[in-house]
A and B are shown apart, each in its own frame.
Chain A
Amino acid sequence: MSEILNIINLDKSFGRKKVLENFNMTLQEGKVYGLLGNNGEGKTTLIRMIMGIIPSNKGEIFYKNQKIEFKHSSYKKEVGYIPEESFFYSWMTIKDLLDLNSSFYPKWNSKKAHEFLERFSLNNKVRIRTLSRGMKLKLGLIVALASEPELLILDDPTSGIDVPTRQDFLKGIIRELSEAGTTILFSTHLIHELEKIVDHLGILHSRHLILDEDYQKVKNAAKRVRITFKDSVPENIGIDGVLKVQREGNIADLVIYPWDKSIEKQIEALSPTRWDIEPLTLEEIFISFVSKNEK
């Protein structure tokens, strides 16, 4: 499987504030990459640099092994982009917008655009300024999808929209696209949204990716272990890969990554009265990684 997007040593600062530093990331073709991060961690900045909206201070971005620079634009013909908020020209009608976009993209699919308009119950003649946020998201999606992108970049698009729309968006369209082989970079801070659609997971924290791994591997390798001791929990537990420890009386809740068979022996060596392994949700994995890095 080839790389569709490769980011090497990217730096970005706003004034004295460094947002990204020596940032590296790789997107495999056909995968759904979930980019997690708290608000203000630089997800939007990263995506804007990929889309050539703002320049980086340092580093390189490659699209299909071709270096892309701030001034380049032709790669955008194959990249669909849905920003956090879809800011179109408010005076235009939906038809005007689609018509304008059809001139930008060589693979523009008018049929698909109209199908989606019907699916989302959007009227062609309506002016954009009258649309709700959810409808604008749908319109942004139509614009992105009708351009038949090879890479679709979604920058936290579902925040602030109602649950049914979000569900339709995530479970329906994103899955359809993924199944059709479109590479997707989905950035969000609403972690649970990614759970069922993501192939690869990246966690952006403190200017770097603190996790960049196949989601199934992460899922399998991240475990919560509840250990019950006879007396109190020892000061030094001494188990490899502990991301997070919670003590409550004689019970210790550990999040361990990566899980390994040898860890079982390390637990046994502590002579617990009982220990149990539980799987973790994506949200718990995220929180564990972030909290470990904050320490």
Chain B
Amino acid sequence: MFRKLFLKELREKVNILIFFTINLLIFALIYLFYPRAKSELLEYLYLAMILVVFPLTSVLLGSSGFYSEFKDDSWTYLFSRPIKKWKIWLIKYLSQTLIFLSALLILLSTILILPRLKVVIATFNSSSNIPGDSPLFFSCLVLAFILFTISFSISFLYEKQFIIIFVSISITMGLLLVWDRYNAFLGRILYESSGIEFYASIIWLSFILASVITFIRSDFSQIWKKIWKFSKSALLFLALSFFLLGTGTFYLIKASYKYLPYSSDAYHEYKGDLYFETDKGIFRYLPEKDKLEKIIKSKLFLPFNSQDLYSVRGEKIIFLQHIDWEYGNSELWIMNTDGSQKKRLIKSGITEDSPFYNANIYSCILSNDGKEIVFITRVYLSGETYNIIYTLWRINSDGTGLKSKGLRFPGEPYFLRLIAWSESDNSLIFLLSGMIPSKIVKYDLKNEKYKILADSLNRPRELRISPKQNFLAFQYYENNTEEQTLSLLNLQTFEKKEVYKAGSIDGYKWSKNGDNIVFIADKNELYVYDLKQDKIRKVKELTYGRPFRRRLNFDFILNGQKFVVVDVINNEPHIVVISRQFKEEKSIKIPFRTKYGIRYILGINNTVLVENPDKDELWLVNLDTENWQKIYH
């Protein structure tokens, strides 16, 4: 029964597919034989095909769902057969969907077999967008599917097909508008909003559900009652969808903003105090007073790579406050380390006459004395995704003396990141990447010239300047392998040295005096590298597993006199204290367990900060008293 009814439906609607295919064939023939020089017409034809013909075919197909029943008045026949109404609906929907997918397949095949067409599509996709910020072609397919679904869902409500078509288009336009505004709202508050499409799909499902329910339960002899029933169900399901969408958005926002900074650069020890930022704001912990202060309330931070966000030096803190993610608008603020004298220095993206119009501020660094700030901005030129203008800015911390300089580097890098400000030789260190082999470049602020310090680096990461600002350490991958190298760059002599090469290097940390680097490599070995002696020594073999791709659960303590590292002893995580003679002095049990182990610790004098990412908590242990204290939750 299912098969025969399904075939009957296919036979009824196959004409639409045949006519669409003929249309595509004509289109393909024009493409194959039309002179290449006059390709403008071909572009218009392509646009007409995907913007008009395919969506029109879809809406025609959907709206013809119950055309035969209306035309031949065969409702009585259909409903008096021993077949459940939901099955009738389902068979029709499945058969129509099969035809829709066949039309889509034919469209895609045509595009794939016409190589010249691909070039045209690439041109359009890179420059044209419609609401929802998706490439044109994909958006047209989604649009066609929405039109098909909505028109099918309401096709049994009224006999006049043109009314069904216009109503479907109106509903689709309304929903697209809502979706566009909703995306714009998300864009302003979220950096990453993937996953929200799942909730959005429920919106389209609302029409399907309303359609099935009305079809099963309504009286077909009473049109207005039928329409009213459908409207009620659709509104109910739409309300439910929007509620789910709202709930999903709420949790997405909550999840996006709930984090601890997983980066050694995000925790700053400055004059014995600890500075860190979380979803709730920027905090200062004063160990001597055992006091946690929130110096800035919750703001829109980037939930990763905090180095770009704030810098603590010379009794000052600078930080970026993002206004919205969609256009990358942000503000640069400065304040004292106790949170007093907050001042906004820069505001981007407000008016066209502002020098920061449409500018995305990032990579901000304070000078050692806290009196000057350097930062860079990027501006995307409209329509040209890869055309970006980078500008270097300098400003005094009192807001005066704003200066700018356009940055142009070889190969026009897509990504440009300011790594460090080496004040001793008045230079900046940049990482250039994207579309070109990655480079590390030193930029002289005085003569505004650059020098390439390292070239052709494969996926460089963890770039950190030494405390004395004379060396830059970084990791990179060997070409075509997962093998990594920890490398050092002498910023004075420009000499590059490979410190260690291993199958894996989890991460490294500088000692406070900049004479040593401690790192975990070869899966579970803790090493220390002495820069003066140019010697690597193994500190300890760890039994701890390797749960994270990047693990920074080791550090120096007491000004580099000892090491601390997390290891598992008797199946329990411990902080192990190791002397410079590589002797294990003590192990202190960590009072909590985490799903994937401990990923980050920070040594501050004779205390160690331990992160509990499962609960977003920060703990501090005194290595003498072995007392644990939860300082943030």
Tell me the A residues contacting B by CB distance below 8 Å.
Answer: 14-15, 48, 51-55, 70-71, 73-77, 81, 83, 85-92, 96, 99-101, 103-105
Contact of B82 with A90 in the complex, beta carbons under 8 Å: no
Partner of A104, one of B3, B73, B82, B222: B82
> From residue B3, how far is it (CB to closest CB) to chain A in Å?
8
A99 to B3, CA, bound (A): 12
- Binary interface encoding of chain B residues 49-82 relative to chain A, with 1 for a CB under 8 A from any of its CBs, else 0: 0000000000000000000100111111101111
Contact of A91 with B221 in the complex, beta carbons under 8 Å: no
> From residue B348, how far is it (CB to closest CB) to chain A in Å?
61
> From residue B484, how far is it (CB to closest CB) to chain A in Å?
65
> From residue B619, how far is it (CB to closest CB) to chain A in Å?
61
Q: A77-B82, A103-B4, A104-B81 are in contact. Are A53 and B220 (CB under 8 A)?
A: yes
Does residue B217 face the partner (Cβ distance < 8 Å to A)? yes
> From residue B271, how far is it (CB to closest CB) to chain A in Å?
76
Q: A53 contacts which chain B residues (CB < 8 A)? A: 75-76, 79-80, 220
Across the two chains, which residue of chain A brings its CB closest to B71? Answer: A90
A81 to B80, CA, bound (A): 7
> From residue B186, how far is it (CB to closest CB) to chain A in Å?
41
Q: A87-B73, A89-B68 are in contact. Are A48 and B217 (CB under 8 A)?
A: no
Contact of B222 with A14 in the complex, beta carbons under 8 Å: yes
Contact of B80 with A51 in the complex, beta carbons under 8 Å: yes
Contact of B85 with A71 in the complex, beta carbons under 8 Å: yes
Contact of A88 with B1 in the complex, beta carbons under 8 Å: no
17 new A-B contacts, CB < 8 A, other than A70-B217, A103-B5, are: A53-B75, A54-B221, A73-B83, A73-B84, A76-B81, A77-B82, A83-B80, A88-B72, A89-B8, A89-B74, A90-B72, A91-B68, A92-B8, A100-B4, A103-B1, A103-B4, A104-B83
Contact of A71 with B84 in the complex, beta carbons under 8 Å: yes
Shortest 6 CB-CB distances between A and B: which pairs? A76-B82, A103-B4, A103-B1, A77-B82, A87-B73, A53-B79
> From residue A178, how far is it (CB to closest CB) to chain B in Å?
21
Q: A54-B221, A99-B4 are in contact. Are A87 and B76 (CB under 8 A)?
A: yes
A52 to B81, CA, bound (A): 9
Q: B5 contacts which chain A residues (CB < 8 A)? A: 100, 103
Contact of A91 with B12 in the complex, beta carbons under 8 Å: yes
> From residue A120, how far is it (CB to closest CB) to chain B in Å?
19
Q: A99 contacts which chain B residues (CB < 8 A)? A: 4
Does residue B216 face the partner (Cβ distance < 8 Å to A)? yes
Q: List, sorted by A's number, 17 A–B pairs whose CB atoms are closer than 8 Å.
A: A52-B79, A52-B80, A55-B217, A76-B80, A77-B82, A83-B76, A87-B72, A87-B76, A88-B74, A88-B77, A89-B68, A89-B77, A100-B5, A101-B81, A103-B5, A104-B82, A104-B83
> From residue A55, how far is it (CB to closest CB) to chain B in Å?
6
Contact of B74 with A51 in the complex, beta carbons under 8 Å: no
Q: A14-B222, A54-B221, A99-B4 are in contact. Are A74 and B72 (CB under 8 A)?
A: no
Q: B217 contacts which chain A residues (CB < 8 A)? A: 55, 70-71
Does residue B219 face the partner (Cβ distance < 8 Å to A)? yes
Contact of B85 with A74 in the complex, beta carbons under 8 Å: no
Across the two chains, which residue of chain B brings its CB closest to A144? Answer: B80
Q: B8 contacts which chain A residues (CB < 8 A)? A: 89, 92, 96, 100
Q: A15 contacts which chain B residues (CB < 8 A)? A: 222
Contact of B1 with A104 in the complex, beta carbons under 8 Å: yes
Across the two chains, which residue of chain B brings its CB closest to A45? Answer: B221
Within 8 A of A (CB), among B377-416: none
Across the two chains, which residue of chain A brings its CB closest to B222? Answer: A14
> From residue B213, how far is it (CB to closest CB) to chain A in Å?
11
Across the two chains, which residue of chain B brings its CB closest to A140? Answer: B77
A267 to B312, CA, bound (A): 122
In the complex, which of the residues A14, A73, A83, A101 has the most CB atoms of chain B within 10 Å of its own CB atom?
A73
> From residue A97, how far is it (CB to closest CB) to chain B in Å?
9
Q: A71-B85, A100-B4, A103-B1 are in contact. Are A55 and B219 (CB under 8 A)?
A: yes
Q: B82 contacts which chain A residues (CB < 8 A)? A: 73-77, 104-105
Contact of B81 with A86 in the complex, beta carbons under 8 Å: no
A81 to B79, CA, bound (A): 11
A121 to B206, CA, bound (A): 50
Within 8 A of A (CB), among B189-232: 216-222
Contact of A89 with B80 in the complex, beta carbons under 8 Å: no
Q: A77 contacts which chain B residues (CB < 8 A)? A: 82
Q: B80 contacts which chain A residues (CB < 8 A)? A: 51-53, 76, 81, 83
Across the two chains, which residue of chain A brings its CB closest to B76? Answer: A83
A87 to B79, CA, bound (A): 12
Q: A71-B216, A87-B73, A90-B72 are in contact. Are A51 and B1 (CB under 8 A)?
A: no
Q: A87 contacts which chain B residues (CB < 8 A)? A: 72-77
Q: A100 contacts which chain B residues (CB < 8 A)? A: 4-5, 8
Q: B83 contacts which chain A residues (CB < 8 A)? A: 73, 104
In the complex, which of the residues B71, B77, B222 has the most CB atoms of chain A within 10 Å of its own CB atom?
B77
A100 to B216, CA, bound (A): 22
> From residue B266, how far is it (CB to closest CB) to chain A in Å?
60
Q: B72 contacts which chain A residues (CB < 8 A)? A: 87-90
A49 to B611, CA, bound (A): 70
A286 to B52, CA, bound (A): 62
Q: A71-B85, A73-B82 are in contact. Are A48 and B4 (CB under 8 A)?
A: no
Contact of A14 with B81 in the complex, beta carbons under 8 Å: no
In the complex, which of the residues A52, A53, A74 has the most CB atoms of chain B within 10 Å of its own CB atom?
A53
Across the two chains, which residue of chain A brings its CB closest to B12? Answer: A91
Contact of A86 with B12 in the complex, beta carbons under 8 Å: no
Q: A81 contacts which chain B residues (CB < 8 A)? A: 80
- Binary interface encoding of chain B residues 354-388 relative to chain A, with 1 for a CB under 8 A from any of its CBs, else 0: 00000000000000000000000000000000000
